[in-house]
Structure formats: structure tokens, C-alpha cells
Amino acid sequence: MSDSIPEDLVDRVRDGDVRLHELDEHVDPDAAATVRRRLVAERSEATLDAVGEYTFDAADADPNIDNMIGAVQVPLGVAGPVSVDGGAFTGDRYLPMATTEGALVASVNRGCSVIDAAGGATARVTKCGMTRAPVFRVADVAEAEALAGWVRDNEPALRTAAESTTSHGELLGVTPYVVGNNVYLRFRFDTKDAMGMNMVTIATGEASAVVEAETDASLVALSGNLCSDKKPAAVNAVEGRGRSVAADVELPRDVVTERLHTTPEAITEINTRKNHVGSAKAGSLGFNAHVANAVAAMFLATGQDEAQVVEGANAITTAETTVDGDLYVSVSLASLEVGTVGGGTELPTQAAGLDVLGVRGGGDPPGSNADALAEAIAVGALAGELSLLAALGSRHLASAHEDLGR
């Protein structure tokens, strides 16, 4: 980081001759960040020394941030290690979690400990596909129906156009939705180890050009919100987006009673009355206790798009007492959008989080590292659900927070 900055450049920004985003044209990225930080501090009267302390080169963050003034540090902890039998993620691993919420990592860690005492968790990715859904305008419902039919008949041509833009992505399918004279085409892609939002947007744009050239439809917007990105949406809960992933564990009764201080029956009832009935009454799309906590913490630790926690927390937790009196618990995340290449995964501290899991970069075969990350997050969510349900069952939730002073 550079604190040696030209005073005349600071004056030029103050006078409006140079805009904040133009500073990189005059000085190196670290010096540009220093100028912005100084000007923002002057205007806001805030002390910004702390955000000016960061360990990476500002140039490395250029793909991730605009008008950089520094970096925000979030405490990073680990839960585990926890034993996982996954389709792509196996062995005993620590789970990196970045958060400012006290007791969160401790809670997930307790869940990991109990899962380990039961022999570990099982996790599997059940579906994969990043989506983009452009909206087209047609004359009427007759044209809408005709366009839907044309798309079904010409999917190979759309695939050729879409895949011409990427060496990694594969078009898995296109589903038409008709609403009056609007036709939404939900494209679904296998993006391998990339989260792939940019990839599918570019590819869908190319395919949309074919639709316009070959039909009477007019593209209104490349995203018609039926994708659906960064918003609570039933379509993602039903059809999935990114990775659909599930994790489960069966806990012996003695582990539940001795380690969690409650019973399988109590946890089963709480899960039904709280996570299912309570969520239904609230009109929630997520039927879980706090899956967003684990998803957000592991997203921050591994460089994921934090806004996509909205879809990532679209999860259902189940719990039942087995015929032998043990406890079966599962978490199914319908739309977990993750990647191990590109975006924030390239930043050094986030890359370190991926290294803790052993999933940084492209996998062999392609897509296996992103699958492994999804399974790891699902196990973290499972541990968090189990711990919170047990705290409610033992009535220790408030006292645990009080004892930890958080």
C-alpha cells in the first residue's frame, strides 16, 4: 500500500477535475485507494486507518471492487474437524467460517462434534445447473405458444450458439414459460467449477440473438427475474439453481441424550412445529432454523457472492425418530450457488479458506471442486441446525448466549 500520493491529484479530485473512478489512470491501484480513503475521511470525518491495513495488492482486487478505499476484515474461525462421506468431499476436514456473530462457530462446532461421534455425515450434490431467464415480447398468446414450441424444436441450435461463447459451460436445457404476450426462457447450464453467473449471461445473450433472428419475438431483458438471482423465489426451491445438495446423519439415542442433553423425540417435535409448521404459517420459502448462518459464514470465508445467500438459505431441515429410537436429521439446500474459480475465490484470504477445505481451483474432473464445496457447506448447515435444535430442546439457547457474553 502506498501513502505517497501527489497532492495536486488530491486537489484535482476535490475540484472535480478527476473522478474517484479515474484515479487508477493516474497512479497505481494502491495509491488510488489511498487518495480515495483520504478524501472520504475528510468528507465524512471518519477515521479510516483500519480499512487501509490490508495484505493484498489493490490491483489483485480490481475484478472484485470499484472505487476501492481499503478492506474490511471479518474474523475467521473453523468448526470441526468433521468426518464427511461425500460424493466429492470426503475425509476429516475443518470448515472455515467468517462471521461477526458470536457463538455461531461454537454452535456449528458442537454440531460437528456430535456428527463425528455418530460416525460422520453423508452429503451429495443431487442436481447442478446455473440459470438465466431472458424475457421476450410477442404479439399474443398464439405467438407465445408458437415460440415455446420453436424453442423446444430448436434447442440444439440454441446450444451451439450458447456454447460458442465458453470453453467450459454446457447448456443443459431451456424451459419456456408463457405469461400472456411474455415468454420467459429459463436456460440452465453446467458451469463446472465456476459459480458461472457471468458465463451463463454471456452465453444466454448469444442464444437470445438466435431467437430474435429466427422468430418474431423481441428480447426485452436478458434477465426476466425467472432465473431467479439474489431474490427469494419458489422456482429455485422447486427446480434448483446452482447446486442442489443434501446432507444427513443418524445420531444414536445415547449421543443425543449425553452430548446434546435432550431426546430424539424433542428434536423431532421442535423441527416439525418450528421449522415446518411455523415456517409455513410465516409464508417462508425456507423450512429451517438458521441455515443462512452457515451459508453466509462459509461464503465469506471462501469468496462466494454473498448476495446469493438469499438462495443458498432456501433449505428444508427434516428430523425424525427412527424405529430404534435414534435421531435422523437432514438438510437439503435447493439452490446453493458456489464456485472454486473466478470472482472472490482469487483473493488471497478467500483462496486460503478454499485451501483449508482442499477445493481451490478447478477440479478433476471439472466441477468436482465446486461439488465438494457445496457438500462442505451442506454439512456445516447440518451441524448448525442440529446444534440449534438441540439448544432449543434442552432450553439452553438463551443461557448459552449469556454464558458466552454474546
Q: Which residues are catalytic?
A: 101, 305, 401
DSSP H stretches of helix in 262-396 = 264-270, 279-282, 291-302, 309-312, 348-357, 368-393
| Residues whose CB falls within 8 Å of the CB of residue 157, separated by 6 or more in sequence, listed in order | 210, 214
Q: What is the DSSP letter of 7?
A: H
d(CA 98, CA 313): 16
Please give the Cα distance from 384 to 78 (Å, whole number): 13
d(CA 13, CA 342): 32
**Percent helix / strand / coil, the chain, rounded to 5:** 45, 20, 30
Residue 46 is placed in which grid cell?
471518519
C-alpha cell recorded at residue 117: 461421534
Relative to beta strand 170-179, strand 182-190 is: antiparallel
d(CA 94, CA 70): 29
